[in-house]
Structure 1
Amino acid sequence: METRDFELLIGRNIIEKYRADRHRPAVFALAGLEWDLLDEVWPPTYSPGGELFAGRIPFDRMSSFLEMGCGTGIMSVLAARAGVERVLGLDINPAAVRNTELNARRHAVADRVTARESDLYSAVGPDERFDGIYWNPPFLNAPEDSVDTSIWDETMFDPEYAKLRRFLAEGRELLTPRGKAYLWFGEALGNPALVADLAEETGYDLGVLAKTEMAEIPEALADAFPADLVGGDSEDGEDAAWHLHLLELRPRQA
């Protein structure tokens, strides 16, 4: 099976598992806090992202922060709780905008957090600039002719990493002179080598703030991965590992 067809299969399985799950909690715990979860918003308990290492992002040196694909708004709220004065959460899913607003109120930072429905940066004002921009992007590079414009395909797939390319290229113009972009990205699903290529292409120096190794597929997603397609060992004979990276991208000076 071709890699992209495998990624399409995995993504479709994950989406169907979400749709069939009738036991998603209305409130869940993550990063030491409780969070509201609305229906039609991706549950972070399925696959926690960069919020696990939010303390590695230098919020104390930021006055403004943008979270792309804010979902439940965890990173936006954590940024505001860390002292960032102006936080903007963007998501193509209107339910995610409501969910981010709900969690900003839950954690008493609604005066600092704004959420907007947006196709990537379409809802950013012409004069808005940010000290930090963060995204936990779609990892799966499925064939373009096999995906649609539904919320779940938009959340799960990024054919040829076109959205990630736009995130980096357009985001560069929205950063303040001291600003940096941050990405949460994986190896088992995802292509970190391509991220490095995109960083070079769009004018960033790439660094790794944090790296974690998952010994196994998250329990909530385990049965989305066919046993006959996911082996326990890598090609070189070493144990396979699910590495997840919190990346920092610093715009290269001209």
Structure 2
Amino acid sequence: MEARDFELLIGQNIIDRYHSDSTRPQVFELVGMEWDLLDDVWPPTYSPGGELYAHLIPFADMSSFLEMGCGTGIMSVLAALAGVERVLGLDINPAAVRNTELNAARHHVAHRVTARESNLYSAVGPGERFDGIYWNPPFLNAPEETVDSSIWHETMFDPAYTKLRRFLSEGRGLLTPRGRAYLWFGEALGNPTLVSDLADETGYRLDVLQRVEMSEIPEALVDAFPADLTGGEGDGGGAWHLHLLELTPR
């Protein structure tokens, strides 16, 4: 099986796992706080991302912050709680926009957090600029002809990493002179030099703020993966490398 077909299989299994999961809570706990979770929004409890290392992002130096693919809005809320005055969450999923608004209200930062339905940067207003832009992007490079426009395919797949390339290249023009882009990205299946190659291509310097090595697939997702990848009954699979990356325009 070719790598992209394998990534399609993994992603579709994860989507099917979500739809068959009757245990998803309406309120969950992460980073020591409680969060609302709406249907049709990715549950961060399945596989927590960069929000676990939000303290490494220099929010104290920012007056404006954009979270791409805001989902439940955790990073947007954490940025606002850290003192960022103007936070914008963008998501192609209207349920995620509502979820971000709910969590901003839950944590009393609705006056600082705005959420908009957006296809990448399409909802950014003229003249809006940001000191920080963050994304936990789709990791899986499925064949383009197999991917549709559904919310879950948009969430899970990025054929040829076209969306990630656009995030970086178009994001440069939305950063203030001191602005930085931040990515939570995994090397579980993809090209381990992908982001550094794209950083060079789009004119960024890349720094690793956090590198996490996971010896196991998150428990909530383990049944989405073939036994030979998870280690089956053996001694476990290979390491998974996850990174919080800072990209500085050159």
Q: TM-score, normalised by structure 1?
A: 0.95
Q: Is the 8 A contact 1:185 1:192 kept in 2?
A: no
- Give the match for residue 13 of structure 2: 13
- Give the match for residue 245 of structure 2: 247
Q: Deviations over 1:4-53 (max 9, x none)?
A: 11100000000000001111000000011000000000000011110000
The DSSP-based 3-state class of the residue aligned with 1:110 is coil
Matched AA of 1:72: T
Pairs within 5 Å for 1:98-137: 98-137=98-137
**d(CA) in 1 for partners of 2:113 and 2:189?**
31
Structure 1 residues 146 and 239: alpha-carbon distance in aligned structure 2, compared to 1, 3 A threshold: closer
**d(CA) in 2 for partners of 1:86 and 1:193?**
33
Matched AA of 2:16: E
Matched AA of 1:82: A
CA drift of 1:149 comes to 0.4
Q: Is the 8 A contact 2:216 2:230 kept in 1?
A: no
**d(CA) in 2 for partners of 1:230 and 1:222?**
7
Structure 1 residues 56 and 163: alpha-carbon distance in aligned structure 2, compared to 1, 3 A threshold: same
- Give the match for residue 84 of structure 1: 84
**d(CA) in 1 for partners of 2:190 and 2:201?**
18
The DSSP-based 3-state class of the residue aligned with 1:88 is strand
- Give the match for residue 47 of structure 2: 47
Structure 1 residues 86 and 192: alpha-carbon distance in aligned structure 2, compared to 1, 3 A threshold: farther
Q: Which moved more, 1:209-218 or 1:86-95?
A: 209-218
- Give the match for residue 215 of structure 1: 215
CA drift of 1:130 comes to 0.1
The DSSP-based 3-state class of the residue aligned with 1:177 is strand
Q: Does 1:56 align with 2:51?
A: no
What RMSD in Å do the two structures reach over aligned CA positions? 1.3
Matched AA of 2:199: A
Q: Deviations over 1:36-93 (max 9, x none)?
A: 0000000000111100000000000000000000000000000000000000000000
**d(CA) in 2 for partners of 1:80 and 1:163?**
26
**d(CA) in 2 for partners of 1:7 and 1:226?**
11
**d(CA) in 2 for partners of 1:70 and 1:192?**
25
Q: Does 1:29 align with 2:22?
A: no
- Give the match for residue 176 of structure 2: 176
- Give the match for residue 75 of structure 2: 75
Structure 1 residues 200 and 246: alpha-carbon distance in aligned structure 2, compared to 1, 3 A threshold: same
Matched AA of 1:212: V
Q: Which moved more, 1:210-219 or 1:135-144?
A: 210-219
Structure 1 residues 216 and 37: alpha-carbon distance in aligned structure 2, compared to 1, 3 A threshold: same
**d(CA) in 2 for partners of 1:212 and 1:185?**
10
Query: Where in structure 1 are there 5+ consecutive unaligned residues?
Result: 233-237
CA drift of 1:191 comes to 2.7
Structure 1 residues 216 and 230: alpha-carbon distance in aligned structure 2, compared to 1, 3 A threshold: closer
Query: Where in structure 2 are there 5+ consecutive unaligned residues?
Result: none
CA drift of 1:231 comes to 4.5
CA drift of 1:192 comes to 3.5
- Give the match for residue 156 of structure 2: 156
**d(CA) in 2 for partners of 1:42 and 1:243?**
21
- Give the match for residue 142 of structure 1: 142
Identity %: 81
Matched AA of 1:160: A
Q: TM-score, normalised by structure 2?
A: 0.97
